[in-house]
Amino acid sequence: MLGGRHAYKGTWAYGQTMRVVIVGGGINGMFSAYFLRKDGYEVEVIDRSHSGKTSVFNAGLLTPALPPAEVNISRAFFDREGPLHVSPSVMMRNPAWLLSAARGGGHEGDMAELGERSLKLYRKFFKEESVEADVADGVVAVYKDEGKARDAAAAHGCKFLSGPDLREMGYAGFGGGALFRKNMAVNPPKLFDALRKKLSETGVRFVTGEEADLEVERGRVGAVSTRSGRHAGDYYVIAGGSWTTSLCRKLRYNPRIIPARGLALLFRAGGSKVVSTPALLEDYGAAVSQHDPDTVRATGFFELAGFDEGIDGGKRDWLRNILAHHIEGSGNLELAEEGVGFRPCTPDQRPVVGGVPGHPNVFVNSGQCRLGMTLAPVSGHTVASLIAGRKPDGVECMDPARF
């Protein structure tokens, strides 16, 4: 449990608890704060937003056993109708990034292993902190082609579901699915609010709605400036999501992170159970879940279009048409809210988590792209461990020094 005397057993300097300032209050920044607080550090979190919309407009599926396949960037150059798209302006501004991304990385195994560790940390967190986030055990990957579903089930050692099985869950028009019992789903806004409340109760201070600027001198950050004043610490964590690259400019370090847009549609279900198990619709790159009797969440798309928050009507219709064709109870759904979340993506589609080269008191925690929610605990735990002088195993694939 957080709180109590044991929460202050960590590192001390000059008779006082050492202080960490985190820039970025999304799910990754907050899990960094959580583990740092458990190690006894004083923690302050600064966020440009009040709402954490990128974390909130998220699928909420924690699927380390079935991480999203690496995006075929070369195909996305020409695909304006499907879930992948790269805008011409992004092509012109980021040619080297796109060329590197088009080559592919082949790091699915690394991400799956990190995801499994993260899932264990999630389960421990929910058990110890009694946080309510509408946790649902089990996620099904569904396919139009029965053969692909059988292959996925065999490859991962999980249960194959037939088309009729899926129909009982609320999904129609699919040949089969693979049920990942050990994966789970959470309600993103509920987790976000509960984690922020938990951290506040343990003494973490939040400054929201203010832009942050690093004060850098001789390779060290001395403070973070915001509209309300200076925020000084012994260590600094840059967890700014898609804004991490701009935050790191004064450090003369480029994490090579650019934003990818994801669309979320939230529907009122009118108290009816529309789908019984969260699902990844593999043929469409979309996800569907129902966290409570009143809300169904549908998410999709991977668009490299800068920080454009506008929602394309065609994209909205594309996602709604998928629901109309494949969700048995879609006729009962009424659109309640829609929004865009920005996914921080690197060209090799691996996170950037660790010490910033040349800056001994600065760490970065970003670049999780479409695995942001899944990898948040392991990313935060890694940062806290490194600050405390511990060297966790298996995190070399996230090392910021690769850029």
Same-domain check for residues 79 and 221: no
Same-domain check for residues 371 and 243: yes
Same-domain check for residues 152 and 276: yes
Same-domain check for residues 328 and 293: yes
Inside any domain, residue 174: yes
Phi-psi region of 391 (alpha: psi -120 to 50; beta: other; left: phi over 0): beta
Inside any domain, residue 24: yes
- For 58-62, 294-298, 307-311, 352-356, which range has the lowest pLDDT when averaged over its residues? 307-311
Number of domains, the chain: 2
pLDDT at 152 over 70: yes
Same-domain check for residues 294 and 341: yes
Q: What is the pLDDT of residue 104?
A: 66
Inside any domain, residue 44: yes
Same-domain check for residues 73 and 151: yes
In total, the chain counts a number of residues equal to 403
End residue of a domain, out of 345, 366, 381:
345
Band of pLDDT at residue 14, cut at 50, 70 and 90: very low
| Mean pLDDT for all residues in the chain | 88
Inside any domain, residue 129: no
Band of pLDDT at residue 107, cut at 50, 70 and 90: low
Paired with 176 in beta bridges are 143, 162
pLDDT at 12 over 50: no
Band of pLDDT at residue 303, cut at 50, 70 and 90: confident
Supply the CATH number for residue 353's domain: 3.50.50.60
Same-domain check for residues 167 and 279: yes
Same-domain check for residues 156 and 304: yes
Domain span at residue 161 reads 69-94+135-182+258-345
Same-domain check for residues 222 and 176: no
Assess contact for 135 and 292: CB atoms under 8 A: no
- For 18-32, 77-91, 326-340, 354-368, which range has the lowest pLDDT when averaged over its residues? 77-91
Supply the CATH number for residue 302's domain: 3.30.9.10
What is the C-alpha separation between 379 and 214, in angstroms, rounded?
Answer: 22
Same-domain check for residues 327 and 385: no
